[in-house]
């Protein structure tokens, strides 16, 4: 489609939907269309993704926002979003080349409608998840340009020839941009010379936008780097580092950009500076950059801080074995109490979850507790022990440990965060719903690590579902997912919470869609959420009578389940029950559902036992009523009372009461349970 009509389409999309994503391969004119549309609308601000900026968090949007020097990813993104003026027309060119956090910010701005957006994307290049989600989630309409048949090999060859034939001075300017693109005009003029910049502009190799210079096409930088020697690239990096480090860095983005430049230059930064940069990258959620910086420090001076940061970056990428090797090299006998705690806590957590060695982790934690002398250290270790106990399927003991920590004057924020989050989920599964919100609030006030927010949140959604407040449960679960944005594994865990509510609603198709992606995203990690995702997926597929896929999901759940996910043993048995039901084996399905209820009871998880025994009733079990009565005697909640009514009406074959129960389930949004009770009412009428 010609540029002018395309520009009109983009202008209309911005007016009607707040923006558009222009999709076209290299050479198809997507930047031209974006420029024409922005000129028609007026008042635009441009951001361009580049290869060099892709490795530095927030680099692409650095001139647009304020990036605070503290706070973790979600808080930093929130502050960044608020610093963008409402109603701005933001043009994001070559969005597939954005760094992850810039891409996440663009996604947030699109969802919140804080700005109007024109985004250009090359479909043949890998894009950050957030940019892909703009299209897949239908946040912004797609406008695909009719592209001429472009022979990519011929295009690449043409670009290589263009770069090779540039005058030496013009090529010099492009070589600096091959390392840092875009660059302030003053810096490039000082480094390459004003004549070189003028020659590069005259050759159409670079363009100047305001006070910045950038390569006229992304392929020019790629071709230039490919034609430079390692020594040449190193020399350019060294010169750039010397120039850019001569002035104080503006913020964390500048510090990280300098750290990246210094890595492969002749000017290595002091170890303490690189360690701080690695910690900043970790704080912002850029695990790959944190790992790269951490590895560089380890090669020079493997101090404790460097090892701790690197180990976390590796573990959070699911590389637990490598993280353990980094931490195992520390001589614990030489550490002070403070250092011992900083080392032991991540090592124990890595052993428990990432290495799937909970027994070893528990023993290591106890050994460490016997070594430390301070009350604060012991309390923090106890808090992690509470988390271990809960995950191991012992919510009662977990509660006892957590309550001791929360009552202690020696509990620091880390201890409060771990223990309160574990207590919130334990209480919910035990049926002590009245305590859940206060514990979750206390965990939040402690500003505990991000993933623990999902632990306490799962306690809250569980309590809300059992209280018959499914709308509120789904809203909270979605808020937690949105809190994670596109960051993994947080987003996947949030989607598990949403899917759990959807299964309770009877919306198994929507639940399965979320769980497929969540299970795959969590597969490389060791989090106990991973097995739970497969368990819930098998349940959702079983509800749909998808026998084959349910069986595969169940098999994966069983192979990944162990002591670290024993809290979810009832869910595994329910997965087996619904998979068996899909195989048309009602007796086997009822037996597995009863087993799930008994497993929950043995673990003190009365609320989960009610859900499991109610599933048995839905599957046609006439013996589950006594168990539900036993569990609801200590757990007063809406769903428990309805489950007991359902069980008794089913045994009595009371069609009227079954119909009434069906209506009551429908009233609170549990449409799957309502449908099953309705079918049983119809069967009772026929008998």
Contact residues for 567 (Cβ-Cβ < 8 A; gap 6+): 390, 391, 392, 393, 395, 425, 429, 528, 603, 605
Least confident of 56-60, 197-201, 592-596: 56-60
Contact residues for 134 (Cβ-Cβ < 8 A; gap 6+): 21, 106, 107, 110, 119, 140
pLDDT attached to residue 1 = 42
Per-residue b/e over 495-513, b at no fewer than 16 CB within 10 Å? bbbbbbbbbbbbbbeebbb
The pLDDT tens digits of the residues spanning 14-67 come to 999 999 999 998 878 899 999 999 999 988 888 999 888 889 999 999 888 888
Q: Residue 486 pLDDT more than 50?
A: yes
Number of H helices, E strands in the chain: 35, 8
pLDDT attached to residue 112 = 85
Tokens of 214: 């950038």
Q: Residue 5 pLDDT more than 70?
A: no
Query: Which whole-number Å values give the CA distances from 172 to 71, 214, 264, in the listed order?
Result: 40, 13, 19
The pLDDT tens digits of the residues spanning 118-171 come to 999 998 888 998 899 888 778 899 999 877 777 778 888 999 999 999 999 999
Start-end of H helices in 392-507 = 395-407, 413-430, 436-445, 452-466, 470-484, 490-505
Place of tokens 């992606």: 517
pLDDT attached to residue 334 = 92
User: CA 319, CA 296: separation in Å to the nearest integer?
Assistant: 18
Closest CA to 178 of 144, 225, 134: 225
Closest CA to 385 of 365, 403, 406: 365
Q: What is the DSSP string of 211-279?
A: TEEEESSHHHHHHHHHHS-HHHHHHHHHHHHHHHTTS---SHHHHHHHHHHHHTSS-PPPHHHHHHHHH
Query: Which whole-number Å values give the CA distances from 321 to 239, 303, 328, 345, 479, in the listed order?
Result: 38, 20, 10, 16, 33
What is the percent of the chain with per-residue pLDDT over 90, rounded to a whole number?
73
pLDDT attached to residue 133 = 86
User: CA 427, CA 422: separation in Å to the nearest integer?
Assistant: 9
pLDDT attached to residue 53 = 84
pLDDT attached to residue 73 = 73
Q: Which of 99-108, 295-304, 334-343, 654-663 has the highest mean pLDDT?
A: 654-663
pLDDT attached to residue 447 = 65
Closest CA to 421 of 454, 395, 391, 397: 454
Pairing of strands 206-209, 44-48: unpaired
User: CA 121, CA 138: separation in Å to the nearest integer?
Assistant: 15
Least confident of 133-142, 157-166, 332-341, 457-466: 133-142
Tokens of 589: 């399905």
Closest CA to 575 of 547, 537, 619, 522: 537
**If pLDDT is split at 50, 70 and 90, which confidence band does 550 have?**
very high
**If pLDDT is split at 50, 70 and 90, which confidence band does 4 have?**
low
User: CA 451, CA 62: separation in Å to the nearest integer?
Assistant: 27
pLDDT attached to residue 448 = 57
Contact residues for 513 (Cβ-Cβ < 8 A; gap 6+): none
pLDDT attached to residue 79 = 78
Average pLDDT over the chain reads: 92
| Mean per-residue pLDDT, 391-414 | 95
pLDDT attached to residue 7 = 87
DSSP letter, residue 523:
T
3-class DSSP assignment, residue 62: coil
Rounded to 5°, angle at Cα 604 from 598 and 610: 55
| Mean per-residue pLDDT, 336-345 | 90
Q: Are 351 and 360 in contact, with CB atoms under 8 Å apart?
A: yes
pLDDT attached to residue 2 = 45
Closest CA to 397 of 411, 375, 382, 377: 382
Element (H, E) at 23: strand 19-23
The pLDDT tens digits of the residues spanning 633-646 come to 999 999 999 999 99
Pairing of strands 183-184, 206-209: unpaired
Pairing of strands 89-93, 206-209: unpaired
Strand partners, 214: 207
Closest CA to 661 of 651, 652, 650: 650
Q: Which of 3-17, 77-91, 283-297, 416-430 has the highest mean pLDDT?
A: 416-430
| Mean per-residue pLDDT, 593-616 | 97
The pLDDT tens digits of the residues spanning 215-233 come to 998 889 999 999 999 999 9
User: CA 356, CA 666: separation in Å to the nearest integer?
Assistant: 41
User: CA 278, CA 274: separation in Å to the nearest integer?
Assistant: 6
Q: Residue 484 pLDDT more than 80?
A: no
Q: Residue 541 pLDDT more than 70?
A: yes
The pLDDT tens digits of the residues spanning 248-293 come to 998 999 999 999 999 989 999 999 999 999 999 998 888 899 999 9
pLDDT attached to residue 111 = 86
pLDDT attached to residue 480 = 86
Dihedral of the alpha carbons of 235, 240, 246, 250, in degrees to the nearest 10:
-150
Dihedral of the alpha carbons of 388, 613, 539, 484, in degrees to the nearest 10:
-40
pLDDT attached to residue 451 = 76
For residue 670, the number of C-alpha atoms closer than 13 Å in the C-beta half-sphere is 29
Pairing of strands 89-93, 116-121: parallel
Strand order in the sheet with 142-144: 44-48, 89-93, 116-121, 19-23, 142-144
């Amino acid at each position: 489609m010609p540029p002018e009509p395309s520009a009109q389409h983009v202008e209309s999309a911005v007016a009607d939907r707040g923006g558009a994503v222009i999709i076209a391969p290299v050479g198809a004119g997507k930047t031209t269309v974006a420029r024409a549309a922005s000129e028609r609308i007026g008042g635009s601000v441009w951001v361009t993704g580049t290869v060099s900026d892709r490795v530095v968090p927030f680099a692409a949007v650095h001139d647009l926002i304020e990036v605070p020097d503290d706070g973790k990813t979600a808080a930093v993104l929130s502050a960044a979003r608020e610093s963008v003026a409402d109603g701005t027309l933001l043009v994001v060119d070559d969005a597939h080349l954005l760094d992850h956090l810039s891409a996440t910010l663009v996604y947030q701005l699109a969802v919140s409608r804080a700005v109007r957006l024109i985004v250009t994307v090359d479909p043949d290049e890998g894009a950050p998840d957030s940019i892909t989600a703009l299209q897949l989630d239908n946040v912004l309409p797609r406008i695909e340009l009719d592209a001429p048949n472009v022979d990519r090999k011929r295009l690449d060859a043409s670009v290589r020839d263009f770069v090779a034939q540039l005058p030496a001075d013009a090529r010099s300017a492009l070589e600096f941009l091959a390392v840092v693109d875009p660059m302030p005009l003053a810096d490039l003029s000082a480094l390459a010379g004003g004549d070189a910049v003028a020659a590069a502009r005259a050759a159409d190799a670079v363009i100047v936008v305001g006070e910045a210079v950038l390569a006229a096409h992304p392929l020019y930088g790629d071709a230039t780097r490919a034609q430079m020697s390692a020594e040449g690239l190193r020399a350019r990096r060294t010169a750039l580092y010397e120039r850019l480090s001569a002035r104080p860095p503006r913020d964390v983005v500048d510090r990280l950009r300098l750290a990246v430049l210094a890595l492969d230059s002749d000017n290595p930064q002091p170890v303490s500076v690189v360690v701080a940069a690695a910690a900043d990258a970790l704080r912002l959620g850029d695990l790959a950059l944190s790992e790269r910086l951490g590895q560089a420090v380890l090669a020079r001076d493997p101090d404790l801080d460097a090892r701790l940061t690197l180990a976390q970056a590796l573990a959070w990428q699911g590389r637990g074995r490598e993280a353990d090797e980094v931490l195992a090299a520390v001589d614990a006998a030489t550490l002070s109490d403070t250092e011992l705690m900083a080392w032991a806590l991540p090592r124990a957590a890595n052993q428990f979850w990432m290495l799937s060695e909970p027994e070893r982790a528990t023993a290591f934690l106890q050994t460490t507790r016997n070594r430390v002398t301070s009350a604060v250290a012991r309390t923090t270790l106890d808090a992690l022990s509470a988390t271990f106990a809960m995950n191991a399927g012992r919510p009662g003991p977990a509660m006892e440990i957590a309550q001791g920590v929360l009552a202690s004057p020696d509990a620091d924020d880390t201890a409060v965060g771990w223990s309160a989050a574990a207590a919130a989920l334990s209480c919910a599964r035990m049926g002590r719903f009245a305590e859940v919100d206060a514990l979750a609030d206390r965990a939040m006030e402690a500003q505990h690590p991000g993933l623990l927010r999902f632990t306490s949140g799962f306690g809250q959604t569980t309590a809300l579902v059992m209280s018959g407040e499914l709308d509120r449960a789904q809203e909270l679960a979605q808020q937690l997912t949105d809190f994670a944005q596109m960051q993994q594994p947080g987003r996947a865990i949030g989607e598990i919470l949403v899917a759990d509510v959807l299964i309770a609603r009877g919306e198994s198709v929507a639940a399965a869609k979320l769980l497929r992606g969540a299970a795959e995203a969590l597969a490389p990690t060791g989090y106990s959420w991973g097995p739970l995702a497969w368990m819930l997926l098998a349940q959702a597929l079983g509800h749909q009578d998808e026998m084959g896929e349910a069986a595969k999901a169940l098999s994966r759940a069983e192979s990944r389940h162990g002591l670290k996910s024993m809290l979810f043993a009832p869910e595994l048995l329910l997965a087996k029950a619904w998979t068996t039901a899909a195989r048309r084996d009602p007796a086997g399905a009822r037996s597995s559902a009863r087993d799930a209820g008994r497993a929950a009871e043995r673990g003190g998880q009365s609320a989960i036992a009610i859900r499991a025994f109610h599933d048995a009733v839905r599957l046609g079990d006439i013996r589950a009523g006594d168990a539900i009565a036993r569990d609801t005697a200590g757990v007063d909640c809406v769903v428990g009372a309805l489950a007991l009514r359902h069980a008794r009406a089913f045994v009595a074959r009371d069609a009227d009461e079954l119909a009434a129960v069906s209506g009551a389930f429908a009233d609170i949004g549990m449409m799957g349970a309502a449908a099953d009770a309705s079918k049983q009412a119809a069967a009772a009428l026929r008998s």
